[in-house]
């Protein structure tokens, strides 16, 4: 059974497709970062570029059905017996334009990629078609949309209706779309995906997969997925953890090599490097109890108060942030009177210099308040050297300024008064942002819960056991990737680079959970087998 995987990403859908018994003969994505991960995994499974599979690094708008067929039939394995038709095409066009978590921009150019998917389908004419997307695909609408035949759809037409009509126009019948929850198929994660299944009129009608773990007691919990990955030995000894069937399968491997055997994961997990959190971040994470979101923490503190004696780094960061405006003016005056670099700068650079100096002075003051003198002196000397380089003011002069200005800094929100407000739970919304940041989506996972949808930003979730974000491997476990599956490239990225780079965390977060993909692909395989049996009987 031959399959094509378009918009393949790092290979989540491919894993399930292969697990169900398909041979992926062609796959494509436009990202070089996911290409490295994808091709590395397929080579590991015995799918070798140019021999028995073809990966094309391309935008789908650059592909044609003829090119795809030619690429497949140039493979060595088909040199004597070219493929006449494809059994199934699987694909998940990028979903940012439809996601309810995003802006849902009708003009997002990525909204049109599902249309390119239909074009490829019309040129390949596979027996079966599967498309997955975010749940928001079901109720998103488009304006100014033209079909493959050139007809214009009325503005505000639902995308799901357009897709069904377009597939019908190229000779396919479409099952009623369904939203499937990955946790119903053995994945330890509530991940809702819109699934469309279509089929040619000359083949057996396929079905949607029936849930394998529909009841709460059957669902895989977080502790069963990542309980063995605790890094702190003291914590590991305290956690009551038993090896689960899910974990054993992850380690043993579910995805077969072309020769039939699965590949066991390494004894030391790959992609399990931890992020280096500052003391402030670690202390912020301690505020979250298992299962709590930022909003839950805020509600609890408002009701019961919070004594920050054990989170002094975090407390002083709150103090300094609350007094940022007043402290900025003091530093701005100092730079104006003493810094040759500041005086020679334009207005924009002056503002940036004040911000930069304020950040470093804040670090200096936090260390003075929270660390032992010897360690503080070593770290602060480095800060003073940096300040000297940035401003042209000697480190001795800067040190004197900081020590003399401490009586003037933090005057609007005095530390003692703020401490009492935290204890009483009477701090305002702005102070909660200093305490927890503006990231309201952050939460600590609960060990006996099912995980929420894994996203592409690693700092959305705090590990249930330790004060850190999840590792790439832990996210991959929650997505149901085998331990032998290695993600390549940068671990994470930020800022403007996020528009173009696809680091490991994003590769995992964007993936279709392999076990969900397996359930869907298995139904297509079963329909193909019945179809082939009927043909034999008729022959």
Please give the mean pLDDT across all residues of the chain. 91
User: How many Å apart are CA 428 and CA 531, to the nearest integer?
Assistant: 65
How many C-beta neighbours within 10 Å does residue 405 have? Answer: 16
CB atoms within 10 A of CB 309: 9
Summarize pLDDT for 322-371 with one digit per residue, the tens: 888 888 998 999 999 999 999 999 999 999 999 999 988 888 888 878 87
Comparing CA positions, the residue from 457, 454, 420, 417 lying closest to residue 437 is 457
pLDDT single digits (tens) 518-538: 999 999 999 999 988 887 776
As a whole number of angstroms, the distance between CA 112 and CA 145 comes to 9
Sign of the four-CA dihedral 261, 266, 271, 272: positive
Look at residue 208 and give its three-state secondary structure.
coil
> From the candidates 4, 8, 95, 301, which is the catalytic residue?
95
The C-alpha R_g of the chain, in whole angstroms, comes to 28
Q: Could you tell me if 525 and 23 are in contact, meaning their C-beta atoms sit under 8 angstroms apart?
A: no
Which residue, among 329, 338, 333, has the nearest Cα to 387 in the 3D structure? 338
CA quadruple 392, 396, 400, 403: dihedral, nearest 10: 100
209 closest CA partner among 226, 195, 225, 198: 195
Among the ranges given (16-20, 141-145, 198-202, 385-389), the one the predictor scored with the smallest mean pLDDT? 141-145
pLDDT in tens, 461-511: 999 999 999 999 999 999 999 999 999 999 998 777 777 889 999 999 999
Q: What is the pLDDT of residue 53?
A: 98
pLDDT at res. 101: 53
Q: Please say if 95 is a catalytic residue.
A: yes
Place of tokens 């085998």: 482
Which H helix or E strand runs over 386?
A: helix 373-391
- In whole angstroms, give the CA distance from residue 220 to residue 213: 8
Helix (H) or strand (E) holding 89: strand 88-91
Stretch 253-263: mean pLDDT: 96
Q: Above 60 in pLDDT, residue 105?
A: no
DSSP β-ladder status, 141-142 and 157-158: antiparallel
pLDDT, tens digit, 9 for 90 and up, residues 332-344: 999 999 999 999 9
Burial of 424 (0-12, 13-18, 19+ CB in 10 A): exposed
């Amino acid at each position: 059974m031959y399959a094509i995987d378009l918009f393949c990403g790092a290979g989540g859908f491919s894993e399930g497709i292969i697990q169900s018994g398909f041979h992926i003969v062609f796959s494509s994505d436009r990202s070089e970062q996911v290409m490295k991960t994808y091709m590395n995994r397929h080579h590991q499974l015995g799918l070798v570029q140019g021999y028995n599979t073809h990966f094309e690094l391309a935008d789908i708008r650059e592909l044609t059905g003829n090119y795809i067929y030619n690429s497949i039939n140039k493979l060595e394995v088909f040199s004597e017996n070219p493929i006449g038709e494809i059994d199934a095409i699987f694909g998940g066009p990028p979903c940012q334009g439809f996601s309810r978590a995003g802006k849902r921009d009708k003009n997002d150019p990525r909204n049109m990629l599902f249309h390119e998917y239909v074009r490829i389908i019309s040129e390949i004419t596979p027996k079966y078609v599967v498309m997955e997307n975010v749940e928001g695909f079901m109720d998103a609408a488009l304006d100014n949309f033209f079909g493959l035949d050139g007809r214009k759809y009325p503005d505000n037409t639902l995308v799901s209706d357009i897709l069904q009509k377009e597939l019908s126009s190229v000779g396919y019948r479409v099952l009623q779309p369904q939203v499937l929850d990955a946790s119903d198929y053995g994945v330890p994660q509530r991940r809702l995906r819109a699934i469309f299944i279509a089929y040619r009129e000359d083949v057996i009608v396929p079905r949607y997969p029936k849930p394998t773990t529909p009841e709460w007691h059957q669902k895989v919990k977080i502790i069963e997925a990542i309980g063995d990955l605790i890094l702190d030995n003291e914590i590991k000894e305290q956690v009551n953890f038993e090896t689960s069937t899910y974990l054993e399968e992850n380690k043993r491997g579910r995805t077969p090599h072309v020769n039939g055997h699965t590949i066991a994961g390494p004894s030391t997990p790959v992609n399990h490097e931890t992020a280096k959190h500052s003391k402030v971040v670690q202390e912020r994470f301690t505020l979250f109890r298992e299962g709590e979101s930022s909003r839950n923490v805020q509600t609890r503190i408002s009701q019961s108060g919070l004594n920050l004696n054990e989170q002094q780094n975090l407390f002083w960061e709150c103090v300094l942030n609350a007094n940022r405006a007043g402290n900025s003016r003091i530093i701005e005056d100092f730079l104006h009177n003493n810094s040759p670099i500041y005086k020679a700068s334009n207005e924009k650079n002056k503002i940036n210099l004040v911000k930069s100096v304020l950040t470093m002075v804040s670090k200096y003051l936090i260390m003075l308040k929270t660390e032992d003198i010897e360690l503080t002196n070593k770290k602060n000397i480095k800060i003073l050297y940096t300040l000297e380089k940035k401003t042209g003011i000697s480190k001795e002069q800067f040190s004197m300024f900081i020590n003399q200005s401490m009586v003037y800094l933090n005057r609007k929100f005095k530390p003692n008064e703020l401490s009492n407000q935290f204890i009483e739970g009477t701090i305002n919304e702005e102070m909660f942002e200093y305490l927890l940041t503006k990231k309201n989506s952050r939460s600590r996972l609960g060990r006996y819960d099912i995980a929420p949808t894994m996203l592409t930003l690693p700092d959305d979730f705090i590990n249930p056991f330790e004060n850190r974000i999840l590792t790439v491997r832990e996210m991959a476990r929650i997505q149901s990737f085998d331990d032998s599956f290695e993600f390549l490239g940068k671990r994470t990225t930020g800022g403007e680079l996020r528009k173009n780079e696809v680091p490991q965390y994003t590769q995992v977060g964007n993936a279709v959970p392999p076990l969900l993909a397996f359930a869907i692909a298995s139904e297509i395989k079963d329909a193909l087998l019945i179809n082939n049996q009927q043909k034999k009987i008729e022959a």
